[in-house]
Structure 1
Amino acid sequence: MNRPKMMAWLLVSAALAAPAPGLTAPVESSPAAQAQAQSATSPIRLTRHTPAFWRVTFSNPPLNITGPAEIRRLAQIVDQIEADASVKVVVFDSAVPGYFMAHYDLLKPLEDSTGMAPGPTGLHPVPDLMVRIARLKAVTISSIRGRASGIGSEIVLATDMRFASRERAVLSQFEVGAGFAPGGGPMARLPRLVGRGRALEILIGADAFGGDLAERYGYVNRALPDADLDAFVDGLATRIASFDRQAIADTKRLVDQASLPPDQEMRAGWDAFITSVQRPAAQARVQALVARGLQQPGELERDLNQQTAKYRE
């Protein structure tokens, strides 16, 4: 593998890129028609079940890999949520069996991740996206079925509530096992959710957490039987969507004041990531993973946390 691709791989939680196929302006002049056409052709779909209840579905088989184009699409969706006075609750889920989101697209050119302008918060686009999701007036809920690793874990941590399939959810921050620090904010969020010791176990142990253990630690709100997950999440979302929007927003704003990390913590995590991914030791670990099948369907991606532990310097 050549050096530019290797360096690009290391930017696991990268920024915006050129528009993906299917994101060019459709022929219809109606904004609603344009948004519907865009969502239908995107690896991230936006569905409006009702004016108050929306769903964001990751649909990028076989692994739900998310790269610069998908980050751009997510930012567009957040724009729409922020601008719509009707939406009260948004569910994030996956249409890809086995994967909520495997991790970031690790083989994009380096310049796709380093040359982007900051987002609306002034942060690099990846932590910017995490901050904006957390601060939405609408309630956000992650429905986790399959593997949510790296940036997948960071996105669910940015949402307000997390519900996991007891049998099929796998959450992890695998990055330390690959030789670098996570970049999408888990160092800022996990200690507030699970406590310092458990946060360090998740981040530095870099192991996988099934639904039951994730629930016990506070990584997720609840683990439910897989057969019950969809009905539970949709029922909760429908219940919230029936409530007064201003009461929801006021309550969430005060909880956010008491619990969300300040932006400088998110920025510091990103800076640590950028520094760590450039070290030769990190590059060597990543190269070994690529040679063994990283980002391809198969054993390595299914068992990424254990596979990172097999590297020997």
Structure 2
Amino acid sequence: MSYNNILSETANGITTITINRPSKLNALNRETIDELHNAFAKADSDTDTRVIIITGSGEKAFVAGADISEFAHFEVAEGAALARIGQEQLFDFVENLGTPVIAAINGFALGGGLELAMAAHFRIASDNARMGLPEVSLGVIPGYGGTQRLPQLVGKGRAMEMIMTAGMIDATVALDYGLINHLVPQDELITLAEKLASKIMRNSPVAIAVAIGAVNAGFKDGVNGYEAEIEAFGNCFGTDDFTEGTTAFLEKRKANFKGA
């Protein structure tokens, strides 16, 4: 499949999706969101893909925000629809994928860019990265999950400060906050992402997908995360990967997981 605004490449079990609008600092417009949804869906259904890496092209930006020119003249109903459709199509979609998603933040991750990174299952960043949710400086609030995911990751107080000041934090502060897991020089960012992906790929794809669902369950209203874990744990016992994993352990050999 060809895309206008992104690149997608699969090699050695990893699909790397690169947002490729460098002249716009990789800002998200509706077409890019559509393309990202399609690329993530394709990678998730591809049996050759075990991990997805999402990053931005160039050295300046992961995603510097949403393309404001597309919605500057929207009215109330249009604004609500923009957020709802975007969340369902991309941000919630990514968070709930069974295939692990690593965000490799290679520069500015602002507004919708930070929201996309937060929808990934975890984040790493280069030392030039800058992150923030500047929406209140435009008279609006984060609309792609930022008011929900940021407090989950950094705590309510820090999230409130970041949102209300509309300021940016650098990668060192993001690491201290727990917003990112690792910080490296820019030229080592994708190498680290691939190294982490290789560690993930040693393990059961089925168990990883189930674990993602169980972790996410604890953040959903009306869902008992512990009960979700118990049910998910039990379901693992009916998989071929469980049989292979336990047999390999008892036989003192490396497991050969098939993802079933």
Residue aligning to 1:100: 62
Q: Which runs of 4+ in 1 moved over 4 A?
A: 113-116
Answering whether residue 60 of structure 2 is matched by residue 88 of structure 1, we say: no
String of CA shifts for 1:41-74, please: whole Å, max 9, x gaps: x211111113x31111011122112201111111
Give the whole-Å Cα distance in 1 for the aligned partners of 2:126 and 2:132: 15
Q: Is the 8 A contact 1:58 1:96 kept in 2?
A: no
CA gap 1:182/1:155 in 2 versus in 1, 3 angstroms: same
Residue of 208, 224, 228 corresponding to 2:184: 224
- Contact 1:88–1:137 (CA under 8 A) maintained in structure 2: no
Counting aligned pairs with the same residue, the percent is 26
The alignment status of 1:202 with 2:162, answered yes or no, reads yes
What TM-score does the superposition give when structure 1 sets the normalisation length? 0.64
Deviation at residue 261 of structure 1 after TM alignment: 4.3
Secondary structure in 2 aligned to 1:80? helix
Which blocks of at least 5 consecutive residues in structure 2 are unaligned?
A: 223-260
Q: 2:208 aligns with which of 248, 269, 273?
A: 248
Aligned amino acid, residue 131 of structure 2: L
SS at match of 1:70: helix
Alignment of 1:1-313 (within 5 A): 35=1, 38-39=2-3, 42-50=4-12, 52-62=13-23, 63-108=25-70, 124-128=84-88, 129-166=90-127, 168-258=128-218, 260-262=219-221
* Letter matched to residue 154 of structure 2: V
SS at 1:124 equivalent: helix
Question: Cα distance 1:148–1:262, how it changes in 2: closer, same or farther (>3 A)?
Answer: farther
Q: Find the counterpart in structure 2 of residue 291 from structure 1.
A: none
Offset at 1:242?
3.3
**Deviation at residue 114 of structure 1 after TM alignment:** 6.7
Q: Counterpart of 1:252 in structure 2: which amino acid?
A: I
Kindly tell me the number of residue pairs found equivalent between the two proteins.
219
1:82 Cα offset (Å): 3.6
CA distance in 2 between partners of 1:88 and 1:257 (Å): 22
Deviations 1:226-269 (A, max 9, x none): 343222111111221232211211222222222x4459xxxxxx
